[in-house]
Structure 1
Amino acid sequence: MARNPDAVADPVDVAVGARIRLLRKVRGLSQQALADAAGVTFQQIQKYERGANRVSASMLSRIATTLETPVSEMFGESGGSSGAIDEVAGLLSEPGALELLRAYSGLPRGAARTALVEFVRALRDAPEA
């Protein structure tokens, strides 16, 4: 039975997809590289990462193996949506977020980090031109 295209994605599928995306980015893999290793198209990986398509057990196993993580990591400790972890995974899945965090962690502790955070907050709060 086909899924209704107007239906909202299941929160568990979205959480699993966010974790796949986060782990893929942490491992430095492109969607294409993960797709090649899993034997699907990169478009299918995109759908998994958005939670638009459910990941079968066998596919989840292949993806976890490629990402060098246990399958259980894809579900979090409780086996479902886990609030803060999912929020962080969602934030880090934003384009450029992981790169920004890596650059931030490379700065010396102190004034440089504080200045960068204040700069980014100012950009966020600035009215659009």
Structure 2
Amino acid sequence: MSVKLPNPIDAYVGSRVRMRRLMLGMSQERLADRIGVTFQQVQKYEKGTNRIGASRLQTIAAVLAIPVSFFFQQDNSQALTTDGIGGFDGLEDLSEFLTSKEGLGLNKAFMKITDPSVRQSVLMLVQSLANASSAESALPHSQLSADLSVGLRN
């Protein structure tokens, strides 16, 4: 018997549920209680194992205080795609990062920055660090850290 893999869109929608729930500091149990299901069902929704019906998705959106469109878009202007995002092979990789501790922390901090020019500067800094990291992967960690420290002071 073959194992059926979750539909990528179901997995993405589930990961967005998880991301928003974690951003609010809400447990699976609390969300489950608020939408009238078990916490195991919430786990299945978040993994994309079980598809979320339209009415249930509307309820989840209301509990998480977001529009339903949040589950289907990266932002208000882009449909689901990973084109142009280096380092990610697909929506699953992106979703995994966004729901990781580091991804959530980075997103929370970034969203607190209201100045567009500061946001652009942060993006450029992170991109340059990523490029330096991949280009300098042969260097010992201590040497790379020292080089980055010198660069940040200049």
Q: Same fold (TM over 0.5)?
A: yes
Among 25, 28, 36, the alignment partner of 2:22 is 25
Q: Can you give the 5+ residue segments of structure 2 that lack an aligned partner in the other structure?
A: 111-125, 142-154
Please name the residue that 2:6 is paired with.
9
Q: Can you give the 5+ residue segments of structure 1 that lack an aligned partner in the other structure?
A: 106-113, 123-129
Q: Is the counterpart of residue 91 in structure 1 residue 74 in structure 2?
A: no
Per-residue deviation, 1:103: 9.5
After TM superposition, the runs of 4+ consecutive aligned structure 1 residues lying more than 3 A away are 84-89, 98-105
Please name the residue that 1:62 is paired with.
59
Please name the residue that 1:82 is paired with.
81
Matched positions, count: 108
Structure 1's 73 and 5: CA in aligned 2 closer, same or farther, altered over 3 A?
farther
Per-residue deviation, 1:82: 2.5
Where do 1:20-59 residues align within 5 Å?
A: 20-59=17-56
1:33 partner SS: helix
Structure showing greater Rg: 2
CA contact (8 A) 2:14 2:45 kept: yes
The AA in structure 1 aligned to 2:72 is: F
2:52 partner SS: coil
With a CA cutoff of 8 Å and minimum separation of 6, indicate the structure with the bigger relative contact order. Answer: 1
CA contact (8 A) 1:16 1:75 kept: yes
Q: 69-78 or 21-30, which moves further after superposition?
A: 69-78
TM-score, structure 1 as length reference: 0.66
TM-score, structure 2 as length reference: 0.57
